[in-house]
Structure 1
Amino acid sequence: SKPTAVHFSLIFFVMTTLIGGVAAYLGYSDLAEANVKLDQAQKDSQRDGVAVRKLDEEIQALKKLIGNEQEEVGLDNKTPNTVIGATELDIKTHADVLAEPTIKNTLIKLSAQLNQTKTELAAEQKAKNDLEAALQQLKSNMDKKVDEHRKARDSSEKDLADTQKVKEEEVGAKDQQIAALQKENEEILIELDQLRETNAKTIKDLENKNNTYASLIDTLRSRLDQVQKYSFEVPDGVVRTVDNSTGVVWINLGEADRLPKRMTFSVYRKAHQGIGRGEEDIIGAIEVTKILGPHLSEARIVGDDIYQPISPGDPIYTPLWGVGRPETFAISGIIDLDGDGKSDMDLLTRIIENANAKIDNQVTENGERTGDGLTVHTKFLVIGESPDVEAAKTDEQRDKMQELLAKMKEIREEARLKAVRVIGINDFLSYIGYKPQRRLFVPGSGVKSPIKQGAKVTGVNDVSTGTVSGAYTRGKGLKQQTSSGQTSKVFGTSN
């Protein structure tokens, strides 16, 4: 704390008391010696007072130099409210990582850092000056380049103006030519429109004639096919042996021919008019049950004609199978194999695929077309039933039926253009030897019975003449009448 007059008075009083005490203690006998000592003590007290004042002045000067003039020095209690505590806090706060335990060392370290920073700043300033000098040099060079380009631009603009003037004169001449050509073109377009109108009628007439001729050709071709029934199909094999008692036959096809089991064949009479021409030459159907050898298989008879039984040497044929080659077919329309009014397309697909054949194009019952188009590898286009548009109950059904008819017509026209043979589903089933399995007729189901109703028309008059044979009208005693030798004119007259 700072010494005051009280402190000095107290010191003086203490010293005086000590002196008085000593004097009283020694007594008056040694008063002279005590006086001497008192004088010396007074001198020492004065000297100590001067030293204390000087020390206080030095402390105050040191506080001002440090910059922290707190009342307490803080030698024993270094808080921020003391000189030492505040000074240490300033060193840590302002010197940061350069802080040292003493002010001198901290100042030395800060001075060294400052000198280093000045050196780096001088180097940066020198680099900056060098860059500015280089920039000025570049600017000078760029100014020269700009002047050169400006002169070149002025020269180019002058040349451009001269060229543009020449081009404008040329464009003017071209515009005149274009105007003349446009006028000529308009006249030509008018003539072309007139020719187009004239030719449109001619083209339409020719198209109508072409469609008429195409329809006529299709009709004539259809009639010719019905009459001639050309066919390039050949038998796949022949029947070698027949056992009519068990309904089993043996054919000359087998393992070496890659014949699969359950393959069905149609059987033709020996004196046929051609394979694959129609149903009239087919006398039965067989299904392979066993492969017995390289060229021998056993088959069961699944259909035959009692008036033309299958016999050895009869040709067999199926379009589904060929030796060493898979066959492909196109299917169009509604496929109903057993006449029950339900689609049998899945069954037909299995029959074809089981024979290692495939369907490459199809017009489904929903009118959708699948496949990439008919090719030379398409063996037949098999046509199923067409929908009855008149039986449609809703507009949606009618639209679907009409769409199916359009697709069927489209694929049939494609077959005609690509020379793919078109056959009906019934002929196809006859060729492959397929026999429908359904035989049950359910009254009221809406499906027609497979059994024909009534007898065929014989051509005999329906009205009786009323005359009964004499064999039934004569009396029992009469003899049998003899024939006159004449027959009914219904069956013709004898020559």
Structure 2
Amino acid sequence: MAASSNESQGLKIAVAVFVTLTVILAVTSYFLYSSYSRSEGLLASEADKASKAQRNADEALNQYDEIRKTVGTKAAEFDSAKTEVAKHLKTVDERLAAVVNSVNAAVARAQAAGAKGTELEDSVQKARLAVESFRKEPNKNYISALDRLVELMENLALVDAELAANEDALKKNLESATSVAKQQIDVQAKSADDAKADLEAEHNKHEQERQVLLTKVDQLTTDLDQARTEIANLTTQLRQVKDEDTTRISQLTAIVRQIRDQAEQKENVLDRPDGKITYVDFGTNEVHVNVTRSQGARPQMKMTIFDANAPGIPTEKPKGNIVLTQVGDKFSIGQIVKTNSPIEPMRVGDIVYSPTWSPNDPMKFALIGKIDVNRDGKDDRDDLKRMIQAAGGIVEYDLPPPNSGKESGKLSALVAWYVTDDPKERPPLREVYEGNKSDNSIAAEALFQQRFGEVIKEARLLGIRPMSLGRLLAYLGYDMNVPVVGQAEGVNAPALRRLTEPKPKSDAQKAAEAAEEAPTP
């Protein structure tokens, strides 16, 4: 292109020179007419040169047009054609980049579909190198560009061939796999048909069984409706019976309460004797009573003795107290613990009574509120429980004050007595300083007083008789100066006999007593 430009410039210069020479020739001819013949020859020579120069210029223009047409530029001017060629080369670079991306995508899809082999990768690599060589050519021209493009086309042809070969191999593999899959599908279809036939047969069988079950369900539904009707009738009858029983129980409870209230009006006739004294031994300080093991008596039980002619027991004047030391099948032996009056000793026929035990059923008690046994201002309900248990009774219900335990047990009509401690009747012997009570303590005390009233009311409705703590302690033979002994877990009968029976005297003691009793001469 540089040579063409130079030729064009040369042509223009030649034309300019030609014109100049013509002018000079004309002037020269005008002024040098005299030398016309010599100048005419020179003019002919110059005209021939100018003609040759014109032909050369025309030939150069024709060659420029031919090269421009060969290159394919539309612009006629050199600079415009050069710009057009540069722009086109840039477009070619972009299209080659798109071609590389398309080749990479096609190869990736082929490899994902299962294409294998290094030939495909080598062809792709060569195509990439051809594109890079075209794009990075330092002295890029028409021939080099065509060489790189031809090289790229060859590599792309190799890529296409490899892709076609891989596609053919994949197609064959796919056809083989399709054939195998078709055979397996045929097998599965046959199995499915067999399974469908079996399913239909099973379905028919289940349908028949379902019809049988529906018939049974209808029958069972009919039976269930009948049963529900019977249950409803029985429920109605049961409700009526329950209402009647509730009414009857309420009436019986009222009768029991009325009988107990009538019995309480007789201060001296309150209970039945539990047994009688059958033998008294003042030497060993023992008594025999007709209380036996089969009646539920056991050693260490405390009992109160009343006069045989007492109008009713328990009275306020017992003769004393005994503790059973031996319990037999026909009679039991008791140790005299206390005699209230020496002029009223225990005799045969006196009544044996336990406020917490009966021959057939142990007496049941309910402890309500604070229980101060020794009048020290503190709750002693545990000591009272031990005394009741030692006498053969049971504490069925317990409602302690705050900070003395939790409510336990349940009230019932089987409870014989509920025990309360009235501080007005048995005031404490000393004042107990409790300090300033907190709000929680005051609230707990209020709740306790409310519960106390509710329990007393419930006990009265159940027909349970009241008993003061002082009265119960008198029946139990309690003495403030004697410590409360818990329930014995075992009894050593020989040791008890050694402690209660007189020790046999030795011969020396007998001789000494005989000597003392012998009359003095």
TM-score class normalised by the smaller sequence:
0.3 to 0.5
Q: Relative contact order (C-alpha < 8 Å, sep 6+): which is higher?
A: 2
Normalised to the residue count of structure 2, the TM-score between the two structures is 0.40
TM-score by length of 1: 0.42
Greater helix share, structure number: 2
